[in-house]
Structures are given as structure tokens and as C-alpha cells.
A and B are shown apart, each in its own frame.
Chain A
Amino acid sequence: MNAVNARDGCQLNATDAVQLIWSGDANLFAIVRLSLAVTLAATVLAAVVGMPLGAFAALVRFPGRELLVVVLNAFMGLPPVVVGLVVFLMLSRAGPLGELGLLFTPTAMVVAQTVLITPIVAALTRQVIEDLWAEYREEFQAMQVGPLARVRALLWDARFSLVTILLAGFGRAAAEVGAVIIVGGNIDGFTRVMTTTIALETSKGNLALAVGLGLILITLVVTVNALAWSVRRWSEKHAA
């Protein structure tokens, strides 16, 4: 972040922040791109793992099911920094998965964020599917719908709620800094994302820049949500 002449002991200046955004700094663009890539990848992975897990917990009665539900619900509130620490210990060369050499890489950041948001996705999916199943149960029994068709139908009919769940996961991952800073190392040009840059620039006293980046981050999250909202409105009109 060397684009702008900062002033010593500067006061926060809104135009400074905006100017930084418009200057189209290539470094900034790379940071934004990495942030999106990491969080989107984590959200996709969490969906792939968490949604079937949630649907399974909703529909199948197995020993220990109650315990799984309690654990999933509790882990929705996992502190990101704790997740970061655990993943760090796993991926460190001194740890069990050290051979993979993944520490301080973007992949490690994706892993940490996936671990962080999968419980959210799974727990909320379970709730949504369970509620929907209670509603559809008799009809599905009467129509003699097989187990696989049942799961597919429930997931499809719950699609709007599921999209909202994914957005919740995305938001949680996009906002956190504790996990990615520990497993990523905040390496300049390699594992630096929006939240870690904000933390770094704040600690360097570059408050105007930090505020500017914060605005960008908020705009990004709002944009993603707005996109999802318009997709939903479009789908409702055309009743997919």
C-alpha cells in the first residue's frame, strides 16, 4: 500500500479513503480477488460437505443423532481464531498433516474457513430440511417416494432457504480475520486478504487506508447479497 502520501498523525479523512478505492491499485485488486476466491471456495466446500450432512441428520434416525445435532448447533459459534489455531497445528510441519506443506498458503486459508462455516451450513440445513420434511411427510409416504428422490425433492424445494444459509456462511467467512491470519501468515502478495490487510494497516496507523478497505469489504458483501436476492426474485417470478 504505497500509493498515497499519508500524513503524520493524520485525522480520518473520507476523501482519502475514497481516493484509494478509485486509484485502482493493482495490489488492492489482487487482495480483493484473493479474498473472494478464498471465501467462495470455502463456501462451496462447506455446501458440498455441510448440506448433505445436514439433510442426513434431518432425515435419518441413527444412534447419536441427538448428539450430532447439539454439536453442530454449538459449533456454529466456533471462534475463528480457535479454528485457525487448530488448523495451524494440523498443517504445521510439526503436525500430523505437515507433509502436505500447506501452511502459509491460500489453500490453508480455504481449509480453515471451510472448517469454520461447515457447522453453520450443516446445522441450518438440518433445521430447514427437518421442518420441510415434517410438512411433506404424509404426502411423500402416500406417493411412495423413495429415499433418494425424497432427499432431492426436499433440497430442491428448500432452495431459497438454502441459498440464504450459504449467504450466511459466506458472510461469516468473509468477515473473519482470526483464522486466515494464523494459517495464512498474512504474506504480502500471497496470502494477504481484505480483513488481514485492514488489521495490518490499522496496526501501522494507516487508519484512512484501513477504513477505505473496510468500505470495500462491506460493499463486496452487500453486492453478493444483492445478487443472491435478485436471483431469488427472478426465480420466484419464473417459478423454477
Chain B
Amino acid sequence: MRDTTSDLPISLDTVTVRCGAVSILHDVTLEIAGGPPTVLLGPNGSGKSTLIKLGMRLISPSAGHITFGGRSSPGPTRSAIVFQKPIMLRRTAAANIAFALSAAGREPDAATISHLLSQVGLAALADRPARRLSGGEQQRLALARALARAPEVLFLDEPTASLDPAATKGVEDIIARTACEGVKIVMATHDLGQAKRLAGDVVFLAGGRVVERGASPQFFMSPSTDAARRFLAGDLVL
């Protein structure tokens, strides 16, 4: 049963996430609404992945509130995620997609599966064992699995961090196309170039805090905070 409630906007109110004594995210107040892709930008360890996991409700805040489309529970029902290192099931590529479809309550019929595979350019590899695909192919398959949920929001955690430029381009093209089809993209990356290519608006994180937020061309051309300026200049921001 597909429900028509929306997961957007995702609203965080003074959210803190602690792991033991250490704060990974500190007092984050943020709203992510529909529209062009939101890129979470920042150095490693700045809390981008944690923020994404909060958005998918894979973890809960230690303090503060988070709401999805105005409600605090149930969590997001129309969201999907692609992890940085996606885990392939020990089956064929097509069977992986079928599994994702079933989990989403959709019929895993051949037509839908092959459509999804074509969307990510893997139609020819449908019967290949998924674990034998290359890194880039696996990332694309993970994307197809996420798209199988027909999501309203698609989270991506550093999707091309371990890929070569050619594979990266393949994945970025799919992301851009998906954004054009109306899916809200929330993507974490530490790659400046990628952020510039894909972002509609940027959330800049450092040390577990949201340091700056802005629409895409403006942020890159004239950032307002010192930390953002140093990051864009290529310095290490601690």
C-alpha cells in the first residue's frame, strides 16, 4: 500500500547526537525542503553521514527533535538511501532489485526490474552475480535498489568516494536525471567539484555543526563564514 503522506520537509531542532561521551552532531537546527538537490558538504568527520542517517531514521537524536513532513512518528516512509559502501546480496543484479521491490511492497515483475536496470545502465548485467560487479556497477545497482522504492527523498552518502572518474560521471548522471524527475536528493560529499556540479543548495558542516547554508552558486562564489572560505580554498578545516 503506497501512502501519500510526505516525508518533507525534514526538520531538525537543536539536534545533538552523542556516541558515548563524544558529540558527533552538536545543536543542529536545519530544515530540508523539497526542490533541487541539497548537498551536505564538509571534511571527513564533520557529521555528514550522521546527518543522513538521522534523515533516514537509522539513528535517533540524543537530544532535540526531528520531524518528517511535520510528524515525529512514524519515521520516513518514502525515503531511500545509497550507502558509501553498499552491500550486495549474494544473488544476481536482477534478484537484488526484486528484493528491494518486495521490501518496498511493490510487485517484483520482470518489466519493472528491467526498467530500473536500464535507468542505471545495467540492463546487460541483469544475470550477473551482484558481488562480481565492479565498484561503479555496484554503486549503480545500489542506486537502482533505492529507486525501486519510488522514493520521494533519496539520500546518498559519498556515493562516488571510491570510484574512478568515468564511474563517477556515470553515477552523477543518474543522480542528475533522478533530480530532474522530481526526486529530492540529499547527498553528502567532501568533493568540491561534485558539490558544484550537483548542488541546488549547500549545507556546510564542520566539527559536527552546521557552519553555513546557502544556495549553490552564491555559496561557492562568496561564502560568508571563515571556515567555509578556508575549506573552499583547500585548507584543512578542523
Where the two chains meet, the residues of A that have a C-beta atom closer than 8 Å to any C-beta of B are 135-136, 138-139, 141-146, 149, 153, 156-157, 236, 239-240
Contact = CB atoms under 8 A, between A and B. Distances in A.
Contacts of A157: 89-91
A84 B70 CA distance: 65
Contacts of A139: 83, 86-87
Contacts of B103: 143-146, 149
Interface magnitude class on chain B: 20 to 34
A236 B128 CA distance: 10
Given A139-B83, A142-B80, A157-B89, A239 B127 contact: yes
A157 B91 CA distance: 7
B102 A149 contact: yes
A76 B104 CA distance: 40
Interface of B: 56, 58, 80-81, 83, 86-87, 89-92, 99-100, 102-104, 127-129, 145, 149
Contacts of B87: 135-136, 138-139
A236 B103 CA distance: 25
B116 to A, nearest CB: 14
A110 B205 CA distance: 64
Residue of B80, B92, B99 with most partner-chain A CB within 10 A: B99
A239 B128 CA distance: 7
Given A143-B100, A143-B104, A149-B103, 18 more contacts: A135-B87, A136-B89, A139-B87, A142-B56, A142-B81, A143-B80, A143-B99, A143-B103, A143-B145, A144-B103, A157-B89, A157-B90, A236-B129, A239-B91, A239-B92, A239-B127, A239-B128, A240-B91
Majority secondary structure, A binding face: helix
Contact of B99 (A135, A141, A153, A240): A153
A-B residue pairs, 4 tightest by C-beta: A239-B129, A143-B103, A157-B90, A142-B81
Nearest to A150: B103
A135 B90 CA distance: 12
A211 to B, nearest CB: 43
Residue of B80, B91, B103 with most partner-chain A CB within 10 A: B103
A136 B127 CA distance: 21
A143 B57 CA distance: 12
A49 to B, nearest CB: 25
Contacts of B149: 143
Residue of A135, A142, A146 with most partner-chain B CB within 10 A: A142
B56 to A, nearest CB: 6
B58 A141 contact: yes
Contacts of B56: 142
Contacts of A145: 103
Contacts of A236: 129
A92 to B, nearest CB: 47
25 contacts: A135-B87, A136-B87, A136-B89, A138-B58, A139-B83, A139-B86, A142-B56, A142-B58, A142-B80, A142-B83, A143-B100, A143-B104, A143-B145, A143-B149, A144-B104, A145-B103, A149-B102, A149-B103, A153-B89, A156-B91, A157-B89, A157-B90, A236-B129, A239-B127, A240-B91
A42 B136 CA distance: 46
Contacts of A143: 80, 99-100, 103-104, 145, 149
